[in-house]
Amino acid sequence: MVPVPTFPPHPTHAVTNKTAADSWTIADANALYNFEKWGGGHFNVDEKGAVCVNPRADHRSIRLLDVIKEAAEMGLKPPFSIRFQDLIRHRVERLNDAFAAAIKSEAYEGEYRGVFPIKVNQLREVVEEIIDAGEPYHYGIEAGSKPELMIALALHRDASSLVICNGYKDDEYIRLALLGRKLGKQVIIVIEQHSEVEAIIRIAREEKVEPLLGIRVKLVTAGEGKWAESSGEEAKFGLTAPEIMSVAEHLKKEGLKNALRLVHFHIGSQVPNILTIKKAVVEAARFYCGLVKLGFPMGFLDVGGGLGVDYDGSCTAYESSMNYTVEQYARDVVANILEVCRSADVAVPNVVSESGRAIVAPHSVLVVEVFDRISKTMIPPDTRKSAKDVPVIKELKDILANKRKLNRQERFHDAGQKKEEAYSLFTLGYLDLAGRAQAEALYWRICQDLRTPEPDEDFEPEELGILDKLLAEQYVCNFSVFQSLIDHWACDQLFPVAPLHHLDKRPTVNATLVDITCDSEGKISNFIDLEEDSRPYLPLHPLDGKPYYIGVFLVGAYQDIMGDLHNLFGRVNELHVFLEDDEEDGFFIEETINGSNVCDLLSYIQFDERELCRQMKRQIDDATKSDRVKPREGVRLQNFYEDLLKGKTYLKPRLAAEAKKKGK
Ligand code: PLP
């Protein structure tokens, strides 16, 4: 029988600076995972150590484990996105209330007419919730493409709210926008390229519609953070001052002076520093006043997106954070426009913002289940017989036992040297496989040992700081980074990550999370850390054969929609959760959306389910005819294949299956 490799128990010493295992409290969990800092009042840990969501940032709390349990009863398993619809409403209200308060406190004579940029999350239930929550505020929609405009026109009902059309436009896009005008909607076509003007004038004449137009200005004020390239002189969108003058002249000449109503800018998403926003608003307000002075009626200044999300909770100008609140943002936008308009003696515009990330990021939690773990500290089967006489093994054993009474740093150096020696001996054929296995295992045991300071040690050698990273385990999680966290892979965006339960116990295992794609980049190995900005592992709990759930938070913006089909995993299951006071646990799952089936995904890439089944059947029939497969077995194989085609793409949890088998 092949000996089964065993893992030593997970290290029991603390991974935080507290050492007594029993001193762990919920407050420690809060401090470690920072729920209160990045959670904005929406996330906390209950007395049982489970993560709860407060969709409206009030006393009503939903335990995520209860949602997972109810989903399981409905036959849905992680990975899934849990959407808190009330949280979306709360964000829409907060933004609109913030602008209303700013307008009141600054005695500003214009109004706020925000729009939701559909590109940030196009899911119907999300867009509908936003439109519904925004109705009292005349909150509108922004589209960046023809398909998005088709959604916007169909869902938009409020004649007092705006539909803003950004992005590259062909004749059909322009005609569609003008169709919206015919229906009495305030559809504003934003001129992003000089070449669009001719087409807009021509199609407006053909359709006999008076268009409403805006101009996207190319500000020199550059954005900041990961998405700063949307602004500055190299930006791909917007008109320069000479181009704006030329468009202005052209519109006047064509008798369309009254059409120009809006100035728009967008300096990039997730602007961490309020100073950047202030500067951009002032520059754009100057463009606005300039166009008023050229005789255009105007009326709207659109400050685009960029309102941040404090992903790390540090409240700083670091790229994962923001050094301002939604309320401060609104106040600064309003106050700066007011100041510029006053100084130019121009009536203030209505303010438009296209905040997407800030509206939808917090509402969605990605729940993943740990499927397996990869540890360097595996103890190989007994190898003493083959390796006992090899000096390098003996020396490693001596280092482990610290026979020479060396300090930790010296032992670390010696162990590294001996490990290299063992590798060379193996490559040259002087150490067999069992010997190499033992050398490696000893090396990692020494490293584990070196993590605990000596009693008389008065300083921590800097070099040994690497040990936590070297020894971090890999928790294999049933999801795809490329599908569900594309910005983490594509631009190193950090998201808060935390276990969803056991937070009343000290997490004693440092681990990175790896996904199930066959791509070594499919991992999360960079986590938020308020002291160091980021850290290469996350303290987690040891696995005990029962399901272990991890949440990735604030993922409701961009991640859903930009994910790709790497390895054909496709969309995860979705749960749409509402608060419900009458329900025992305070919530109900209003809707579930099944994640991708294998055959759905195969059809995207032109594989026909029936054709695949036919081809399989032909091969199974041949195998049956040649007696390689018995007929009954052939039928079973064919059924198995066909069932898998209808089945889910993600893995069936192995830990849970094993626990079930063992009757746990
Ligand atoms: N408006 C425009 C023109 C954009 O390109 C974007 C996204 O980058 C947004 C609005 C949304 O930005 P955010 O999600 O930062 O609010």
- The predicted-structure confidence for 549-559, as pLDDT tens digits, reads as follows 999 999 999 99
Q: Tell me: the pLDDT tens digits for 6-24?
A: 434 454 443 434 444 569 9
CA 79 → CA 365, 596, 599, 630, distances in Å?
10, 11, 19, 37
Whole-number Å distance, alpha carbon 259 to ligand 1 midpoint, is: 24
Residue nearest atom 9 in ligand 1 by C-alpha distance: 305
Span 424-450, average pLDDT: 94
Could you tell me the end-to-end alpha-carbon distance of the chain, in angstroms, rounded to an integer? 26
Q: What is the pLDDT of residue 12?
A: 42
pLDDT at 34 over 90: yes
Q: How far apart are CA 289 and CA 75, in angstroms?
A: 59
In whole angstroms, what is the distance from residue 537 CA to residue 535 CA? 6
Tokens standing for residue 440: 């490696």
> Distance between CA 327 and CA 94 in Å, rounded?
8
Q: What pLDDT does residue 378 have?
A: 76
Contact 474, 374 (CB under 8 A): yes
Ligand 1 neighbour 307 (Cβ under 6 A)? yes
Tokens of 169: 């436009």
Integer Cα distance of 187 and 211 in angstroms: 8
Collapsing DSSP states into helix, strand and coil, what is residue 254? coil
Q: What is the pLDDT of residue 561?
A: 83
Nearest CA to ligand 1 atom 7: 269
pLDDT grade for 545, boundaries at 50, 70 and 90: confident
Q: Is the CB of 55 under 6 A from ligand 1?
A: no
User: 178 by DSSP, 3-state: which?
Assistant: helix
Instruction: Assign 133 a pLDDT band (cuts: 50, 70, 90).
Output: very high
- 573, 596 Cβ separation under 8 angstroms: no
The pLDDT score that the predictor gives to residue 658 is 58
Which one-letter amino acid corresponds to residue 54? N
Mutate to test the pocket of ligand 1, among 91, 119, 219, 352 (most ligand atoms within 8 A of CB): 119
- CA 387–ligand 1 middle distance (angstroms): 62
What's the whole-model pTM score? 0.92
Residue ID of nearest Cα to ligand 1 atom 12: 305
pLDDT > 70: percent of the chain: 93
More confident position, 497 or 458: 497
Q: Tell how far the Cα of 311 is from the centroid of ligand 1, in angstroms.
A: 17
Q: What is d(CA 180, CA 165) in angstroms, rounded to the nearest whole number?
A: 11
User: If we measure between CA atoms, which residue out of 605, 610, 608, 594 comes closest to residue 649?
Assistant: 594
Does residue 305's CB lie within 6 angstroms of at least one atom of ligand 1?
yes
User: Tell me, what's the pLDDT at 655?
Assistant: 55
Kind of pairing between the strands at 573-579 and 587-593: antiparallel
Residue located nearest, by CA, to atom 4 of ligand 1: 305
Ligand 1 pocket member 223 (CB < 6 A): no
The whole-number average pLDDT for the span 173-190 is: 97
Q: Ligand 1, atom 6: nearest CA belongs to which residue?
A: 305
Mean pLDDT along residues 445-451: 94
Q: To the nearest whole number, what is the mean pLDDT of the chain?
A: 92
The answer on pLDDT for 48 being more than 60 is yes
- pLDDT, average across residues 369-384: 80
Q: Are 230 and 269 in contact (CB under 8 A)?
A: yes
Tell how far the Cα of 354 is from the centroid of ligand 1, in angstroms.
Answer: 6
Nearest CA, atom 8, ligand 1: 269
568 C-alpha to ligand 1 centroid (Å): 29
Mutate to test the pocket of ligand 1, among 267, 324, 354 (most ligand atoms within 8 A of CB): 354
Ligand 1 midpoint to CA 295 (Å): 29
pLDDT in tens, 248-305: 999 999 999 999 999 999 999 999 999 999 999 999 999 999 999 999 999 999 999 9
The mean per-residue pLDDT over the stretch 478-482 comes to: 95
Q: What angle do CA 187, 192, 193 make, to 5 degrees?
A: 130
Our answer on whether the CB atom of 166 is closer than 6 Å to any ligand 1 atom is yes
Read off the pLDDT of each residue in 134-149 and give the average, rounded to a whole number: 97
The 3-state secondary structure of 623-660 reads HHHCCCCCHHHHHHHHHHHHHHHHCECCCCCHHHHHHH
Q: Does residue 547 have a pLDDT over 90?
A: yes
